[in-house]
Amino acid sequence: MKVLVIGSGGREHAIIWKLAQSRVVDKIYCAPGNAGISEIAECIEVENKDFSALVDFVKYEWIDLTVVGPEEPLAKGIIDVFQKEGRRIIGPTKLAAQIESSKVFAKEFMKRHKIPTAEYKVFTSYTHAEEYIRLKGTPIVIKADGLAAGKGVFVCQNYEEAFEALRLIMKEKVFGAAGDKVVIEEFLSGKEASYLVFTDGKNTIPMVTSKDHKRLLDNDEGPNTGGMGTFSPNPIITPELEKEILETIINPTIKGLKQEGIVYKGILYAGLMIVNNKPYVLEFNCRFGDPETQVILPRLETDLVDIFMAISEQKLNKVEVKWKSDASLCVILASEGYPGKYKKGVPITGLEMVKNIKDLFVFHAGTKFNEEGKIVTNGGRVLGVTALGKDIKEARQKVYSAIELIKFEGMQYRKDIGLNI
């Protein structure tokens, strides 16, 4: 079987790494990929936005299965385009992807279906939004409606921060049309968890639990990023809590979408805040998490193609999904300046030294080969170093010792992933 994976991050590297172990996969392509991915897949230079070029490629190469990593092509309807052409592709349709691509849609949907989430109001007027913030007081959370690469959410401790966030989103339009509407919501204080499931619209199979660390700096300080590190399992999710998450969040979401005429197929990811042992939805994502995937897939024993085929044929109830009991942990190595402006083209050293360490995987994100064939940085998040261990402590030790060997100028990373759990 031939597979095409769309995307270029650590998440896509982890997906391809897992697909490469499948008993049925002969060849993997990636559009556009990165330096690490090019070692196990053939990278093709087709723009992710160019759906007709991607469909042409799939037809020309007789590709059997396409997997979409990032949210943007999903939000723009890549699934609909492929399906119209009769091509097998994994992910939700444009309508279904709104659960991530519009925070207003997601919040209103949750309200209609009584899915627990923070109280909120939607605004299109700056003045009304400002009045509401004064009425509610701080801390308060301000979110741009549309996609903003994980950077459209502002947790504001005081009025100054809140009005600045509002100004950036609504007046300066730093996220463009994504900021035409804002969601202003109650600040929830608790512990975060990522909860991902595979679903075919009828059946659901949970993945192992995980926790992301969105803030740039240790002790959850600094600005929000796409994610600076993860571990799995997330011990805050007890079996009782997991039951509650499925009963009050995941199942009602898939059922609710179905009632509204949307069959959701693919990966559903709920970003949760656990407050006094109760789960609340902070956000939904319509795809695998990055860097959650880098800790989840190394724990998966089942052939990922079996799962994808079952999603596509709505036969997920026929697949037994097995997980390793090992824990896993991933630390992101980022460029200096990220999540703001950063340099590209900085040489990376030490990758060869960690290549053969058992149960240690370096998933590439923003990397490429330069003209001399050397691996250099090519993005904000550059590498994700993941290890499996008998527990999180062991996985953590392996990851941080490997990081000692990897170097690039300006490299920044959190030192506290998995430290205080």
Query: CB under 5 to 8 A by kind: which of ligand GLY, ligand AMP, none does 224 bind?
Result: ligand AMP
- Encode burial over 195-216: b for 16+ CB neighbours within 10 A, e otherwise: bbbbbbbebbbbbbbbbbbbbb
d(CA 313, CA 220): 41
d(CA 390, CA 407): 27
* Min separation Cβ 271 and ligand AMP, Å: 4
Residues 69-128 that bind ligand GLY (CB under 6 A): none
Cβ proximity of 33 and 8 under 8 Å: yes
Question: Which position among 12, 100, 130, 185 is part of the footprint of ligand AMP (CB under 6 A)?
Answer: 185
Q: Which is nearer to ligand AMP, 150 or 256 (CB)?
A: 150
Which of these ranges, 87-95, 106-114, 162-170, 183-191, lies near ligand AMP under the rule CB under 6 A? 183-191
Which backbone phi and psi does 385 adopt, to 5 degrees? -100, 120
Question: Which position among 7, 10, 70, 227 is part of the footprint of ligand GLY (CB under 6 A)?
Answer: 227
Q: Considering the rule CB under 6 A, would residue 185 count as an interface residue with ligand GLY?
A: no
Q: Which is nearer to ligand GLY, 64 or 212 (CB)?
A: 212
| ∠ CA 284-290-295, rounded to 5° | 110
Q: Considering the rule CB under 6 A, would residue 12 count as an interface residue with ligand GLY?
A: no
Q: Which is nearer to ligand GLY, 55 or 274 (CB)?
A: 274
Question: Which position among 285, 328, 377, 386 is part of the footprint of ligand GLY (CB under 6 A)?
Answer: 285
Residues 256-275 that bind ligand AMP (CB under 6 A): 271
Q: Considering the rule CB under 6 A, would residue 384 count as an interface residue with ligand GLY?
A: no
| ∠ CA 217-220-224, rounded to 5° | 75
Q: Which tokens is 212 given?
A: 């992301």
Count the neighbouring beta carbons within 10 Å of the beta carbon of residue 37.
Answer: 29
Which backbone phi and psi does 300 adopt, to 5 degrees? -80, 130
Which of these ranges, 44-52, 187-195, 325-333, 403-411, lies near ligand AMP under the rule CB under 6 A? 187-195
Query: CB under 5 to 8 A by kind: which of ligand GLY, ligand AMP, none does 222 bind?
Result: none
Length of the chain: 421
Q: What is the residue whose two structure tokens read 């270029």?
A: 8
* Min separation Cβ 356 and ligand GLY, Å: 28
* Min separation Cβ 71 and ligand GLY, Å: 8
* Min separation Cβ 293 and ligand GLY, Å: 8
Query: CB under 5 to 8 A by kind: which of ligand GLY, ligand AMP, none does 289 bind?
Result: ligand GLY
Q: Which amino acid is at 323?
A: W
249: CB partners within 8 A, 6+ apart: 115, 116, 195, 270, 272, 279, 281
Cβ proximity of 250 and 243 under 8 Å: no
Which backbone phi and psi does 55 adopt, to 5 degrees? -60, -45
Cβ proximity of 411 and 385 under 8 Å: no
d(CA 175, CA 168): 8
Compute the Cα dihedral for 70, 72, 74, 77 and give only its sign.
negative
- Reduced to 3 states (helix: H, G, I; strand: E, B; else coil), residue 111 is helix
Contact letters for ligand GLY, residues 126-165 (x by CB under 6 A)? ------------------------x---------------
Q: Considering the rule CB under 6 A, would residue 214 count as an interface residue with ligand AMP?
A: yes
Question: Which position among 66, 224, 377, 386 is part of the footprint of ligand AMP (CB under 6 A)?
Answer: 224
Question: Which position among 118, 311, 330, 334 is part of the footprint of ligand AMP (CB under 6 A)?
Answer: 118
Q: What are the residues binding ligand GLY (CB under 6 A)?
A: 150, 212, 227, 285, 289-290, 292
